[in-house]
């Protein structure tokens, strides 16, 4: 055989090997892609199964302390959800459930118990009721540990249905909605809600309460929850005074041109006749903290002010020029608590206007028109 034919044979053999290798590699790539897709699908199924198992566990543990509440207001019977916070039968619910009604009863452990109202607070959007029975308790967590996209679970009684779990995630931390400010930051939750679920506990994945469902958003596709710390503030006031005592010091803030010590909250007004007017705080001071709440922007003052209790001494720290100053201010009772509504600049309105006072926006978790107490 000639060299030319040997060369041609070798060339054909090489092309055959290259084609074989190329085909083998192609098949290998397809196999890898197929296996990778199958593995991804399996991982997703496993993740869903784990989440489902965790939600089921939380539901089974928490459900024992979550109850259905019945009441009667001036218009019609109402139903909502609540949950026990101590072993003597004290429970939290939403103001729209336990704030304006009476003749309360609670379905618990297969029985109906009469319940009485301990305190109702429209600024927080919460109410406390009590039955005379030994009860399980839900552990209290910290809403401050939540972040956007943190998974959460709610347990409630939608419509006339049985106790139901609901799974979603934190969507935001809002100071206002549709141009109206809340009295404290609210948790916006991607959690569909139905009539009857107002007052339901919002739980972290440890089964701890981090909020209370108080209002629904458009089409009931998501909702707002008040942080559990707000309800706990009202509870502490009730233990001390037998009522909620919202305090204030009488300051208005605006946004400073430049941040100072990390804060852009500048004192815009010190209201006459208020605790702040006699404290030494001056207009133009940069507000750094109110009590234990750090202030970095004007809207932070809403949260800081909400947790002030009338009669308490509140340390207020400011920057004045290059000096950091702290003033001890004794908080007065908030004008809204006296049923004396105020304008944003602190000007008090006539008592006759009290019906339209300084309230948060407790939207109902049903289709009825909102009533203003």
Helix (H, G, I), strand (E, B) or coil at 10: helix
pLDDT-wise least confident of 3-7, 110-114, 330-334:
3-7
Q: Is the pLDDT of residue 31 over 70?
A: no
- Report helix, strand or coil for 75: coil
pLDDT band at residue 369 under the 50/70/90 scheme: very low
The structure's pTM equals 0.80
Q: For the domain bounded by 144-238, which CATH number is listed?
A: 2.40.10.10
Write the pLDDT tens digit of every residue in 43-54. 566 678 888 999
In the predicted model, is pLDDT for residue 29 greater than 70?
Answer: no
* Distance, CA of 300 to CA of 365 (rounded, Å): 27
pLDDT for the residue numbered 286:
97
Predicted confidence (pLDDT) per residue in 189-207, tens digit? 999 999 999 999 999 999 9
Per-residue confidence band for 372, with pLDDT thresholds at 50, 70 and 90? very low
Q: What is the pLDDT of residue 353?
A: 34
Q: What's the CA gap between 321 and 262, in Å, rounded?
A: 14
pLDDT of residue 274: 94
What are 262's strand-pairing partners? none
* 126-179 per-position pLDDT tens digit: 999 999 999 999 999 999 999 999 999 999 999 999 999 999 999 999 999 998
Cα distance between the two ends of the chain: 108
Q: Does domain 65-130 have CATH number 2.60.120.10?
A: no
β-bridge partners, 216: 223
Confidence of residue 221 (pLDDT cuts 50, 70, 90): confident
pLDDT at 5 exceeding the cut of 70:
no
Q: What is the pLDDT at residue 219?
A: 80
* CATH number of the 247-333 domain: 2.30.42.10
User: What pLDDT was estimated at residue 218?
Assistant: 81
**φ, ψ (nearest 5 deg) of residue 193:** -125, 160
Alpha-carbon gap, residue 16 to 309, rounded angstroms: 87
Q: How confident is the model at residue 38 (pLDDT cuts 50, 70, 90)?
A: low
pLDDT (mean) for 266-289: 96
| Contact assessment for residue 96 and residue 365, using Cβ atoms and an 8 Å cutoff | yes
Least confident of 87-101, 326-340, 354-368: 354-368
> Who wins on pLDDT, 351 or 123?
123
Give 17 or 80, the one with higher predicted confidence: 80
CB 127 within 8 A of CB 179: no
- Give yes or no for a contact between 82 and 69, defined as CB atoms under 8 angstroms apart: yes
Note the pLDDT of residue 256. 96
Q: Residue ranges per domain, the chain?
A: 65-130, 144-238, 247-333
- Please give the Cα distance from 188 to 202 (Å, whole number): 11
Q: How many CA atoms lie within 13 A of 50 on its CB side?
A: 7
Average pLDDT over residues 105-134: 97
Q: Check residue 1 and give its pLDDT.
A: 47
Q: Is residue 222 over pLDDT 80?
A: yes
Instruction: Provide the strand spans (E) within the chain.
Output: 66-72, 77-84, 90-94, 102-108, 111-121, 126-130, 151-156, 164-177, 180-190, 201-203, 209-216, 223-227, 247-248, 251-260, 263-270, 286-290, 293-294, 313-320, 323-330, 332-333
**Pairwise pLDDT comparison (86 vs 20), residue with the higher score:** 86
Position 58 pLDDT exceeds 90: yes
144-238 shares the fold of 65-130: yes
Is 171 in contact with 148 (CB distance < 8 Å)? yes
Q: 69-85: per-residue pLDDT in tens?
A: 999 988 889 999 999 99
Q: Return the pLDDT at 357.
A: 32
Contact 131, 114 (CB under 8 A): yes
Residue in 140, 76, 130 with CA at minimum distance from that of residue 108:
130
């Amino acid at each position: 055989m000639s060299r030319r034919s040997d060369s041609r044979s070798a060339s054909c053999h090489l092309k055959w090997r290259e084609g074989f290798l190329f085909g083998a590699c192609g098949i290998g790539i397809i196999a890898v892609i197929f296996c990778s897709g199958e593995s991804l699908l399996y991982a997703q199924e496993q993740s869903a199964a784990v989440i489902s198992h965790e939600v089921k566990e939380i539901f089974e543990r928490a459900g024992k302390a979550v109850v259905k509440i019945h009441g009667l207001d001036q218009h019609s019977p109402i139903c909502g959800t609540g949950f026990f916070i101590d072993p003597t039968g004290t429970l939290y619910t939403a103001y729209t459930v336990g704030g304006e009604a009476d003749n309360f009863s609670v379905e618990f452990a297969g029985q109906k118990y009469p319940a009485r109202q301990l305190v109702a607070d429209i600024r927080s959007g919460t109410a406390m009721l009590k039955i005379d029975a030994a009860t399980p308790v839900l552990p209290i967590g910290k809403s401050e540990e939540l972040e956007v996209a943190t998974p959460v679970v709610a347990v409630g009684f939608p419509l006339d249905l049985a106790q139901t779990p609901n799974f979603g995630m934190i969507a935001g931390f809002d100071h206002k909605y549709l141009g109206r400010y809340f009295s404290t930051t609210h948790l916006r939750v991607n959690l569909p809600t139905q009539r009857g679920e107002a007052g339901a506990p919002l739980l972290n994945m440890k089964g701890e309460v981090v909020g209370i469902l108080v209002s629904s958003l458009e089409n009931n596709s998501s909702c707002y929850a008040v942080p559990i710390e707000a309800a706990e503030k009202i509870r502490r006031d009730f233990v001390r005074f037998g009522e909620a005592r919202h305090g204030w010091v009488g300051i208005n803030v605006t946004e400073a041109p430049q941040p100072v010590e990390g804060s852009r909250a500048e004192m815009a007004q010190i209201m006459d006749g208020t605790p702040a007017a006699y404290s030494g705080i001056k207009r133009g001071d940069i507000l750094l903290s109110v009590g234990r709440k750090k202030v970095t922007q004007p809207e932070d003052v809403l949260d800081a002010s909400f947790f002030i209790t009338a009669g308490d001494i509140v340390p207020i720290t400011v920057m004045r020029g290059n000096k950091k100053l702290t003033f001890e201010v004794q908080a007065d009772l908030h004008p809204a608590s006296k049923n004396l509504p105020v304008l944003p600049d602190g000007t008090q309105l006539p008592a006759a206007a009290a019906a339209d006072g300084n309230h948060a926006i407790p939207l109902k978790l049903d289709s009825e028109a909102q009533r203003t107490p």
